[in-house]
Homo-oligomer: A and B are copies of this chain.
Amino acid sequence: MNRPNIVVLGAGYGGMITTAKLQKMLGSNEANITLVNKHNYHYQTTWLHENAAGTLHHDRTRIKISDVINFNRVNFVQDTVVSLDPSSKKVQLENGELTYDYLVIGLGFEAATFGIEGLKEHAFTINNINSARLIREHIEYNFARYNNEKEERQDLLNIVVGGAGFTGIEFVGEIANKVPELCKEYDIPREKVRIINVEAAPTVLPGFDEELVEYAMNLLEGKGVEFKVGTMIKQVEEHKILVEKDEQQEEIPTNTVVWAAGVRGNSLVEEAGFETNRGRVPVRDDLRPNGHDDVFIVGDCALIMNPENDRPYPPTAQIAIQEAETTARNVKKIVHGEDNLETFKPDLKGTVASLGEGQAIGVVFGDKKLFGWTASVMKKIIDNRYLLKLGGVGLLLKKGKFNIFTK
């Protein structure tokens, strides 16, 4: 009996779907499957901005891995990956080492800080459950401090969000809904609080439909959000930032910078010696990098070009899930000795960005635009479909978003 060792690194969208599929597709006498993850839970990265704003509890966002994966069938190792060595087929963990025959890398993203001074030290990022609830508590702590200070410290009340892509805009929508609640809790007049969204591109949601962008900006400005587009963050300090627009510089006092302006692949893949492009590994149609037929890469660490516009597919949950499905089928083929590996073909179903409770914008079915409440319902349908795919009806009922009028 010579069962290959399949090791999956990371329980994000890519790693979880790959593992969940493999445990169904392969018999227990066909392969050893091992899933490695830092925590004993999976989480919906696309909901983290709500946890960070404090509008949705993080326990709604995370899912126990044991609720989805059968630990009698899959070895689960709760540990942190320290390094990968593709030449010796080994994975170094903080508390151990694993050897694989086939490796699936789903190690996710890191914030790309573009070398901006002080950003790494002073800005928060919406990366995971820990960092999301830290943002929630940081903002609340600053509001609690405000009325205890001798002087009016505006930096405690100014919330700066770097980046007006999907995560930036979605977070801004949630925090704009949360701020009035925080003001009430800490006896702070709403007009003293500023929410400032800084974007280097000339528009928010660059590349998105103009009419929808207009709708989003009007809605968010109505909730008191200030947009500074065409504006670069030059420097971040503990109590202020420096921004620049058209060579004019401005200082903004703030103790809260949430950086949502760019992601790159986990630096472990670069350190492992894979060829990378902005931290992501170019993979072939079969989702394996050149020269590594025993390695599949899924999710934010993988780089695949969209032939339609000659740009990489964006690092979204949708793509990661589809890559995972292809990967699971390809791993199965290899285990079964087949060499006609499947080609990855993304099926882009559309994009919906939430703007806070009951509000969203989106494009679906190719060119159908959605606004407001309709779009927010579509967003919940998308989220619920993922839960159904990952863990069936049981998981959907447990973690789904059913109330289309609220959360």
Chain A interfacial positions (CB closer than 8 Å to B)? 130-131, 133-134, 136-138, 140-141, 144-145, 147-148, 185-187
Contact = CB atoms under 8 A, between A and B. Distances in A.
The 3 closest A-B pairs by CB, nearest first: A137-B144, A141-B141, A130-B147
A137 B140 CA distance: 7
Nearest to A135: B144
The interface centre, meaning the residue of A134, A144, A185 with most chain B CB atoms within 10 A of its CB, is A144
21 contacts: A130-B147, A130-B148, A130-B187, A131-B148, A133-B144, A133-B185, A133-B186, A134-B144, A134-B145, A134-B148, A136-B144, A137-B137, A137-B140, A137-B141, A137-B144, A137-B145, A138-B141, A138-B144, A140-B140, A140-B141, A141-B141
**Copies of the chain in the assembly:** 2
A147 B147 CA distance: 28
A248 B386 CA distance: 61
Contacts of A185: 133
Given A134-B148, A138-B144, 12 more contacts: A130-B187, A131-B148, A133-B144, A133-B185, A134-B144, A136-B144, A137-B140, A137-B141, A137-B144, A137-B145, A138-B141, A141-B141
A131 B144 CA distance: 8
A240 B141 CA distance: 21
Contacts of A187: 130
A138 B130 CA distance: 17
Contacts of A141: 137-138, 140-141
Nearest to A62: B187
Contacts of A133: 144, 185-186
A224 B137 CA distance: 25
The interface centre, meaning the residue of A131, A133, A136 with most chain B CB atoms within 10 A of its CB, is A133
A186 B133 CA distance: 8
A96 B104 CA distance: 71
A135 B133 CA distance: 18
Contacts of A148: 130-131, 134
Contacts of A137: 137, 140-141, 144-145
Nearest to A40: B187
A174 to B, nearest CB: 17
The interface centre, meaning the residue of A131, A141, A145, A147 with most chain B CB atoms within 10 A of its CB, is A141
Nearest to A144: B137
A148 B141 CA distance: 16
Contacts of A147: 130
A187 B131 CA distance: 13
Contacts of A131: 148
A65 to B, nearest CB: 14
A179 to B, nearest CB: 16
A59 to B, nearest CB: 9
A141 B137 CA distance: 5
A130 B140 CA distance: 13
A138 B144 CA distance: 9
A144 to B, nearest CB: 4
Contacts of A145: 134, 137
A2 to B, nearest CB: 39
Nearest to A41: B187
A239 B18 CA distance: 44
A49 B133 CA distance: 25
A87 B145 CA distance: 38
Contacts of A144: 133-134, 136-138
A148 B129 CA distance: 10
Contacts of A130: 147-148, 187
A137 B146 CA distance: 12
